[in-house]
Amino acid sequence: MKKNIKNLTIILLLLIILFFLIKSNFLIKKNIINTSKLFITQVFPSLFPMFILSSILINYGFVEILSYFFSYPFYHIFKINPKTAYIFIMSLLTGSPSNAKYTIQLVKDNYITKKDAEKILCFSFFANPIFIINSTFPIFRDLNIVLKIIFSLYVSNIFIGLIFRNFNKCNKNNKLNFKNILTNINQKTKKLNEILTSIIFDAIKTMLLIFSSMIIFSILSNIIIQLIPTNNFFKVLISGLLEMSNGLFNLQTLNISLYLKEILAITFLSFSGICIIFQIKSILNEENISLKYFILSRFIHVVFAILTFSIII
């Protein structure tokens, strides 16, 4: 009975979507074009090269090298496998859902466990710094504000790491020998020409997933806004909580105070939007990694980021 109700509900929702696709074809088409432009001009250039670079770095032993140098803070401060330092540092540079891509890769290669993966996902969520600058500078026209937003988002992740310190504790920190690390790297490293094609195809597959989900959630956002008659503020809020990049793009249209715009921008960037949560879930599905604590950490991140930003301004 429950399954029948679920199936009927899905059919009903799909029929509603189909109705609006026909009824508001022009608006939805315009929305898809704008989302595609955002993907091509901001998301793809910042993520695709980094996906390829990160896979090559893993092949050449960068995970082991970072774990050697960051062994102390990651084990003693966060009580987590030092090899997760790679996920944290690469995510700082590339943003999310890259953190899920690096996490699944390290789980598959047996560098970290699923428990390590669940924990590092909680405090390695970063919006791409280039994306933050490109999407928020047109709103505020002040690099100082943009840098404070980035600082607030990054520092908040450290707080989350400390909050989750005793969750899924790593109880053993093997002393690493740098000479042994280099020997292991030389033994397992593959030639670049052997792996480059598979790396490129894997990166393209992930980018297509990101692009498709951005389109789907921008359409859903458009339909929800049409179904719920509301003012422009709530329209932007709904679009930002569903799909972050569209929310930030639409933030420019709001006639509200500068501080409220800053808070909304931080909310969208720290919560990430259901679209990116869906992307991360899709990437991690293969290894069945739970997102329960990751989703909880999104709400904690919003609160800490807003508090941090409010203090520093």
pLDDT in tens, 102-135: 899 888 888 888 888 999 999 998 888 888 888 8
Q: Peptide bond before 97: cis, by omega within 30 degrees of 0?
A: yes
Model confidence band, residue 48 (pLDDT cutoffs 50, 70, 90)? confident
Determine, yes or no, domain membership for 180.
Answer: yes
Burial class of residue 61 (count of CB atoms within 10 Å of its CB; 0-12, 13-18, 19+): middle
Largest Cα span, the chain: 66
Determine, yes or no, domain membership for 212.
Answer: yes
Determine, yes or no, domain membership for 272.
Answer: yes
Model confidence band, residue 156 (pLDDT cutoffs 50, 70, 90)? very high
Determine, yes or no, domain membership for 124.
Answer: yes
Phi and psi based region of residue 167 (left: phi greater than 0; alpha: psi -120 to 50; beta: remaining): beta
**Backbone φ, ψ for residue 228 (5° rounding):** -110, 100
pLDDT in tens, 203-239: 898 889 889 888 888 888 777 777 776 678 888 888 8
DSSP 105: H
Determine, yes or no, domain membership for 3.
Answer: no
Q: Provide DSSP, 166-205.
A: TTT-----PPP-HHHHHHHHHHHPPPHHHHHHHHHHHHHH
CA 118 remoteness from chain centre: 14
- Cα(58)–Cα(60) distance, rounded to whole angstroms? 5
- Cα(110)–Cα(101) distance, rounded to whole angstroms? 14
The residue range of the domain holding 202 is 27-312
39: Cβ–Cβ under 8 A, 6 or more apart, which residues? Answer: 210, 211, 214
Number of independent structural domains in the chain:
1
- Cα(66)–Cα(142) distance, rounded to whole angstroms? 35
Determine, yes or no, domain membership for 18.
Answer: no
Determine, yes or no, domain membership for 230.
Answer: yes
- Please check the confidence at residue 159 and state whether its pLDDT lies above 60: yes
Measuring CA to CA, which residue among 162, 180, 154 is closest to residue 67? 180
State both tokens at 139: 């709103």
Whether this model's pTM surpasses 0.75: yes
Model confidence band, residue 31 (pLDDT cutoffs 50, 70, 90)? confident
Determine, yes or no, domain membership for 2.
Answer: no
- Please check the confidence at residue 62 and state whether its pLDDT lies above 80: no
pLDDT in tens, 64-110: 777 777 777 888 888 888 888 888 888 887 778 888 888 998 888 88
State both tokens at 293: 């604590």
Amino acid (one-letter) located at 129: P
Q: What per-residue confidence (pLDDT) applies to 1?
A: 64
Contact present, 245 and 138 (Cβ < 8 Å): no
